[in-house]
Chains A and B, each alone.
Chain A
Amino acid sequence: MKRAQEPVISGLISPSRLGFLKRKQVSARVGGAEPGDGRGCLRVTALGRAVSRAAVCSALVLACLGLAESGLHGADAPPAKIDIGTLPAQAQAIEDVVVPIPSEVFGVLDKLGKPQWADVLRTTKSGVKPTGGAEQTALILGTVIAEGFIAVEAESAEDVKRIGKSVLSLSEAIGVKKAVQRRSQSIVEAADHKDWARVRRELDGALMDVKGAMSELRSDELSQLVSLGGWLRGTEALTMVVGRKFSKEGAELLHQPVLLEHFKRRIAAMKEKRQTRLVDLVQKGLEEIRPLMAGADGVEVSEKTVLEIGQIAERLVKAIQSKGN
Chain B
Amino acid sequence: MKGLLVLSLLFCMCAMYFVGIYLFVGGFLLVRLEVNRTSTCGDVLQPGEEPVDFCRVQPRFRRAVLLIIDALKIDFARFDPSNTSPRPYENKLPVLEETASSRPSHSRLYPFRADPPTTTMQRIKGFTTGSLPTFVDVGNNFASSAILEDNLIHQFGQVGKRVVFMGDDTWESLFPKKFHRSLPFPSFNVKDLHTVDNGILQHLYTTSDDWDVLVAHFLGVDHCGHRFGPDHPAMADKLTQMDGVIRSVIDRLQNDTLLVVMGDHGMTDTGDHGGESQKETDAAIFLYSPAPLFPGPPSQSEPDVVPQTDLVPTLALLLGVPIPYSSVGQVLLPLFPPLGQTKGAVGELSQLEALWINAKQVNRFLETYSGMAKDIPPESLSQLKDEFAHLSSEYLTTVRDGRPPSPELAVSLQAYLSSVRDTCRATWARFNPFKMAAGLAILAICLLNVENSPGLKAPVVVALTAGLCVAAGQLLTQGYIEVAWCLAAAALSSELLLLWTACRSRTTAVAKNGFKAAKCTSWLTLRRLLIPSLMVLLIRCACLLSDSYVIAEGRVVTFLMFSLALYIPIHLNWDGLLLPPSHDPLKSAGLLPSPALSPSTVRKESSTLLTCLGLLIGSLYLSLSFHGCREEQGSCQPSPFLSPLSRLQDSQLKNLHYILSVSSLGLWTYLLKRCLRHYGNLNSSGGTVFTARWILPLLAVCLGLHWAVSATPEDSFRNLAELISLAQLALPRAAFCLLGLGLFLIWLDPLTVFVKTRAAASARGSSLPPPRYRASTGISPQAELHHLIPQIYQRMRRSLDDGELSGSSDVDSRPAVEAYGLGTVYSAPLLLFCGLLGIGLLLLHPEGMALSFLLLLLEMGALMHIHASSTTLSGGFNVPWTPIVLWSLAATQFFHATGHLPTFPSIQWGAAFVGFPEGHTGTVLPASLVTLNTFASHILFAVGCPLLLFWPLVCEVRGSRGGRACGEEGEDAVMEMRLRENPQHFSAALLQLSTRYLFIHGAQVFASVCAAAILRRHLMVWKVFAPKLMFEASGFLVSSVSLLIGVTLVLRVDVAVGRWFKRIIPDASR
* A and B: interacting chains: no
Task: Give residues in B with beta carbon < 8 Å to A.
Answer: none
Task: Give residues in A with beta carbon < 8 Å to B.
Answer: none
